[in-house]
Amino acid sequence: MSRLVVVSNRTGDPRNPAAGGLAVAVGESLRQTGGLWFGWSGKIQDEHGDEKAHYDDVHAQTVGDVQLVTLDLSRRDYETYYLGYANSVLWPVFHYRLDLADFDIRFVAGYRRVNELFARKLLPLLRSDDLIWVHDYHLIPLAAALRALGCGNRIGFFLHIPMPPPLIMAAIPEHEWLMKSLFAYDLVGLQSESDVTHFCHYVESEAHAERLSRERLRAFNRTLRVGAYPIGIDIDEFVRLAEAKDGRDMFLRMREEYSRRRLLLGVDRLDYSKGLPQRVEAFRELLARYPENRNRATLIQIASPSREKVGAYDDLRRQMDSLCGAINGDYGELDWMPVRYIHRNVARKRLPGLYRASRVALVTPLRDGMNLVAKEFIAAQDPADPGMLVLSRFAGAAEQLKEALLVNPYDIEGTAQAIERALTMSADERIQRHDALLSRIRKHDVHWWCSTFLQALKHVEQDVACGPTPHHEGL
* Measured distance CA(439)–CA(10) in Å, rounded: 32
What is the pattern of x (binds ligand GDG, CB under 6 A) and - over residues 257-296? Answer: ----------x-x---------------------------
- Least gap, CB of 302 to ligand GDG (angstroms): 5
Is the CB of 146 or the CB of 302 nearer to ligand GDG?
A: 302
- Least gap, CB of 22 to ligand GDG (angstroms): 5
Residues numbered 124 to 183 that lie near ligand GDG (CB under 6 A) are: 160-161
Catalytic residue among 268, 368, 444, 472: 368
Site size with ligand GDG, rule: CB under 6 A: 22
| 268-277 CB burial, b ≥16 within 10 A, e <16 | bbbbbbbbbb
* Measured distance CA(151)–CA(158) in Å, rounded: 19
What are the start-end ranges of the H helices in 309-445? 311-331, 351-357, 372-380, 412-424, 427-443
- Least gap, CB of 401 to ligand GDG (angstroms): 12
* Measured distance CA(343)–CA(317) in Å, rounded: 9
What is the pattern of x (binds ligand GDG, CB under 6 A) and - over residues 375-394? Answer: -x------------------
Is the CB of 185 or the CB of 229 nearer to ligand GDG?
A: 229
What is the pattern of x (binds ligand GDG, CB under 6 A) and - over residues 306-345? Answer: ---------------------------------------x
Regarding 20 and contact with ligand GDG (CB under 6 A), the answer is: yes
Is the CB of 69 or the CB of 380 nearer to ligand GDG?
A: 380
- Least gap, CB of 430 to ligand GDG (angstroms): 22
Regarding 30 and contact with ligand GDG (CB under 6 A), the answer is: no
- Choose which of 6, 139, 172, 231 interacts with ligand GDG (CB under 6 A): 231
Is the CB of 219 or the CB of 361 nearer to ligand GDG?
A: 361
**CA angle centred on 357, ends 448 and 261, rounded to 5°:** 145
Whether residue 216 contacts residue 183, with contact meaning beta carbons closer than 8 Å, is answered with no
- Choose which of 5, 373, 419, 465 interacts with ligand GDG (CB under 6 A): 373
Q: Which residues pair with 246 in a beta bridge?
A: none
- Least gap, CB of 101 to ligand GDG (angstroms): 17
* Measured distance CA(419)–CA(400) in Å, rounded: 20
- C-alpha distances out from residue 397 to 17, 54, 389, 408, Å: 21, 43, 12, 14
Angle between helix 372-380 and helix 427-443 axes, rounded to 10 deg:
120
What are the start-end ranges of the H helices in 290-331? 311-331
Is the CB of 195 or the CB of 285 nearer to ligand GDG?
A: 195
Piece of 314-322, 369-377, 379-387, 465-473 that binds ligand GDG (CB under 6 A): 369-377
SS3 content of the chain, % helix, strand, coil (to 5): 50, 20, 30
Is the CB of 217 or the CB of 233 nearer to ligand GDG?
A: 233
Whether residue 225 contacts residue 215, with contact meaning beta carbons closer than 8 Å, is answered with yes
- Choose which of 109, 346, 406, 431 interacts with ligand GDG (CB under 6 A): 346
Piece of 195-203, 286-294, 366-374, 451-459 that binds ligand GDG (CB under 6 A): 366-374
Regarding 371 and contact with ligand GDG (CB under 6 A), the answer is: yes
Signed CA dihedral, 119, 120, 126, 129: sign only: positive
368 catalytic? Reply is: yes
DSSP codes joined into one string, 200-257: HHHHHHHH--EE-SSSEEEETTEEEEEEE------HHHHHHHHHSHHHHHHHHHHHHH
- Least gap, CB of 2 to ligand GDG (angstroms): 23
- Residue 222: other Cβ atoms inside 10 A: 22
- Comparing CA positions, the residue from 153, 6, 131, 158 lying closest to residue 68 is 6
Catalytic residue among 160, 444, 471, 472: 160
- Least gap, CB of 197 to ligand GDG (angstroms): 17
Q: Helix (H, G, I), strand (E, B), or coil: what is residue 266?
A: strand
- Residue positions annotated with a catalytic role: 160, 368
Q: Footprint of ligand GDG on this chain (CB under 6 A)?
A: 20-22, 160-161, 231, 267, 269, 302, 304, 345-348, 351, 368-373, 376
